[in-house]
């Protein structure tokens, strides 16, 4: 049984009657007013047993906590993917979520300055929602509030706060490059090393982010086609975050591993081989590409 925000007592009586909890008449509303309960009944979704008298129902409604539904947003999703998860649960309209998260006036109103989008700032976590929470605006405010809470915990230094957007951009790339927690600081270290010497990041996930209707197969032409997100053709960071990073990716960028690696390649098992020189890297690429071909029966 669900009681919406702002439901008048008479309408509330009808909801309760429909659930078989009280009789559909004015007595419930009168009793609630007489006992001073009318302003204390919470909105939300409740599970109440039948067979109680109206006074017992009132007391349960005043004391009960609304049912909470857990919704998990994994690390590394794009904003439209997050909107889809909420929409599938009936929490918001998917298109409205996408539109608001990219509405410059709305973004500015939330205190995120001159950003064009909240990509990167919709913090991935498990959220416990009650049915009185609904709509894209409430969900986005909730997620960006959580981002600020975590940011305050992981980046207390003023210097880190000043470079927040750059940290979030790089963390979003680290998040997409590996799902292994132990590798994130190392990959962050590789990218920091590249940025220090003016070497391009050359990250495939950034290229993919800049491709509309990506088919799932990245090609040489994709890598060679300039875009605001193609870090094979761009120097430095892409135009903005390419995903919404979690705590460990943010921490990895703020506290990268001290390493002299400049390269890494996937081992085809979710982990990466790291190299210091281009020669080492090319050897690793040949090794793991050959293994991949053999695994796929093409060797």
Give residue-wise pLDDT tens across range 69-93: 999 999 999 999 999 999 999 999 9
Mean pLDDT of the chain: 87
Other Cβ atoms within 10 Å of 21 Cβ, number: 23
DSSP 43-66: PEE----SS--HHHHHHHHHHPPP
- Over 60: is that where the pLDDT of 297 sits? no
The pairing of strands 126-129 and 2-3 is: unpaired
**Predicted confidence band at 292 (pLDDT cuts at 50, 70, 90)?**
low
Quick: pLDDT tens for 122-178. 999 999 998 877 799 999 999 999 999 999 999 877 656 668 999 999 999 999 999
**To 10 degrees, what angle do helices 27-34 and 54-63 make?**
60
More confident residue, 30 or 121: 121
What pLDDT does 298 receive?
A: 42
């Amino acid at each position: 049984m669900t009681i919406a925000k702002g439901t008048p007592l008479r309408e509330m009586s009808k909801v309760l009657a429909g659930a078989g909890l009280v009789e559909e008449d004015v007595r419930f509303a009168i009793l609630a007013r007489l006992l001073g309960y009318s302003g204390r009944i919470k909105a939300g979704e409740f599970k109440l047993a039948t067979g109680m008298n109206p006074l017992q129902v009132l007391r349960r409604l005043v004391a009960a906590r609304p049912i909470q539904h857990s919704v998990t947003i994994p690390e590394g999703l794009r904003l439209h993917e997050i909107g889809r998860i909420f929409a599938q649960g009936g929490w918001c309209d998917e298109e409205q979520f996408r539109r608001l998260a990219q509405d410059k006036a709305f973004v500015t109103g939330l205190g995120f300055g001159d950003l064009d989008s909240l990509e990167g700032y919709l913090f991935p976590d498990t959220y416990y929602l009650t049915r009185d929470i609904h709509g894209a605006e409430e969900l986005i405010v909730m997620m960006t509030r959580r981002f600020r809470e975590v940011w305050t915990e992981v980046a207390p230094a003023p210097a880190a706060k000043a470079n927040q957007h750059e940290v979030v951009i790089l963390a979003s790339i680290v998040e997409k490059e590996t799902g292994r927690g132990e590798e994130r600081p190392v990959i962050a270290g590789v990218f920091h090393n590249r940025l220090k010497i003016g070497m391009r990041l050359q990250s495939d996930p950034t290229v993919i982010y800049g491709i509309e209707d990506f088919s799932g197969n990245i090609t040489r032409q994709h890598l060679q086609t300039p875009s605001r997100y193609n870090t094979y053709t761009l120097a430095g960071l892409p135009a903005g975050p390419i995903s919404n990073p979690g705590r460990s990716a943010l921490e990895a960028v703020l506290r990268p591993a001290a390493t002299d690696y400049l390269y890494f390649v996937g081992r085809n098992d979710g982990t990466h081989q790291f190299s210091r020189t281009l020669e080492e890297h090319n050897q690793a690429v040949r090794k793991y590409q050959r293994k991949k071909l053999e695994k796929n029966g093409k060797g």
